[in-house]
């Protein structure tokens, strides 16, 4: 059986580095910071989600620009002209920017309006969405364990929809927007540095950020930056750093850790968010929600266990080479 060009290109960008203690610390740092994002956003009150996202875009671009100047060379400011001349990279970065903008807006809305638990659910089911995207976009074939995990997840969403009284659109939007974002970033390839990629994405979003700030300025409250003391202004000014640093830590960790290890650590962020929403913010968790979340966690256990078994089998020496290595997973 021949391997499709899409799957081969995808596989070429995936590496399985050796574990390292520095990689583990970087990954924990990235997901730990993501896990505490709801706390940071709540500290920005009374700033609204639209204003915060606009500042995240503009300040992230400024922060990335500073990093590019410091790094220099092909991975710094010197590599940007080549990226800008590449029409394919420009199109993919525009698409990535749109997806991450959707993700940021929905996540800010959830964090500031009492839906932190539902937002955490989105990142719990994100690995399942990634597997589903592999089938839809890369024509991968699911292994039995993956089919079981997807089936359990579908049941979980149905249970949660009944519990919520409606489809958990926040969770699904976050899961699919970030899943597609990861796919697009992967298609950009390893030649695009994390800082360079984020710079292009935020640059595309500058017009949106400017329009949003103009809209906020026309509201009764107006732009909050500078209106509520030095402490609030400082926290809001750090939005670019808070946005970019976890992404850069994640990119560095991904180069130092196997995908199986990253697959475990990725649950760190939604676990922190879930605990914060339930035990600190006292968001409601009726029995049907506990059942739905338990099903999602069961699906993740099945998915992760199956991925570990598959990688163990693939590393076992075979008596004869196989014509195809099988589908590439991102778990």
Q: 273 lies in which domain range?
A: 5-314
Look at the chain and report how many structural domains it folds into. Answer: 1
The pLDDT value recorded for residue 266 is 83
pLDDT at 305 over 90: no
| Residue 32, phi then psi, degrees to nearest 5 | -65, -45
The pLDDT value recorded for residue 3 is 43
Pick 261 or 323 by higher pLDDT. 261
The overall average pLDDT reported for the chain is: 84
Query: pLDDT-based confidence at 254, cuts 50/70/90?
Result: confident
Radius of gyration of the chain (CA): 21
Q: Which of 243, 314, 280 is nearest to 30 (CA)?
A: 243
CA gap 9, 11 in Å, rounded: 5
Range 77-84 average pLDDT: 87
Range 204-226 average pLDDT: 95
CA gap 176, 256 in Å, rounded: 26
Residue 327 domain flag: no
Task: Encode pLDDT of 165-190 as tens digits.
Answer: 888 999 999 999 988 998 898 888 87
Pick 8 or 142 by higher pLDDT. 142
> How far are the Cα atoms of 71, 138, 141, 309, 327 from residue 4, in angstroms, in the given order?
37, 8, 12, 24, 10
What sections of 113-238 are H helices per DSSP? Answer: 116-124, 126-138, 144-164, 169-188, 194-217, 229-237
pTM of the model: 0.84
Residue 325 domain flag: no
Residue 322 domain flag: no
Residue 305 domain flag: yes
For residue 46, say if its preceding peptide bond is cis, omega within 30 degrees of 0: yes
Residue 139 domain flag: yes
Range 33-41 average pLDDT: 95
Residue 226 domain flag: yes
Residue 79 domain flag: yes
Residue 243 domain flag: yes
């Amino acid at each position: 059986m021949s391997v499709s060009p899409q799957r081969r290109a995808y596989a070429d960008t995936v590496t399985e580095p050796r574990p390292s203690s520095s990689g583990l610390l970087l990954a924990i740092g990235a997901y730990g910071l993501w896990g505490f994002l709801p706390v940071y956003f709540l500290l920005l009150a009374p700033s609204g989600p639209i204003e915060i996202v606009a500042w995240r875009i503009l300040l992230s671009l400024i922060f990335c620009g500073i990093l590019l100047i410091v790094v220099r060379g092909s991975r710094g400011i010197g590599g940007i002209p080549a990226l800008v001349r590449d029409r394919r990279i420009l199109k993919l970065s525009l698409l990535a920017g749109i997806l991450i903008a959707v993700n940021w807006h929905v996540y800010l809305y959830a964090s500031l309006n009492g839906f932190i638990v539902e937002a955490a659910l989105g990142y719990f089911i994100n690995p399942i969405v990634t597997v589903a995207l592999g089938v839809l976009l890369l024509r991968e074939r699911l292994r039995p364990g993956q089919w079981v995990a997807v089936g359990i997840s579908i049941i979980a969403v149905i249970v949660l929809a009944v519990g919520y009284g409606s489809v958990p659109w926040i969770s699904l939007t976050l899961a699919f927007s970030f899943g597609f974002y990861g796919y697009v970033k992967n298609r950009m390839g390893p030649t695009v540095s994390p800082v360079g990629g984020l710079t292009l994405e935020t640059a595309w979003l500058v017009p949106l950020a400017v329009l949003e700030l103009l809209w906020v300025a026309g509201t009764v409250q107006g732009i909050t930056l500078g209106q509520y003391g030095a402490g609030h202004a400082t926290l809001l000014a750090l939005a670019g750093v808070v946005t970019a640093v976890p992404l850069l830590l994640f990119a560095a960790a991904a180069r130092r850790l196997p995908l199986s290890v990253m697959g475990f650590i990725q649950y760190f962020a939604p676990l922190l968010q879930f605990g914060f929403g339930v035990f600190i913010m006292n968001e409601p968790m009726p029995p049907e929600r506990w059942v739905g979340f338990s099903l999602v966690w069961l699906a993740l256990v099945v998915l992760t266990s199956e991925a570990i078994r598959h990688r163990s089998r693939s590393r076992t020496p075979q008596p004869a080479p196989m014509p195809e290595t099988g589908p590439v997973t991102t778990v």
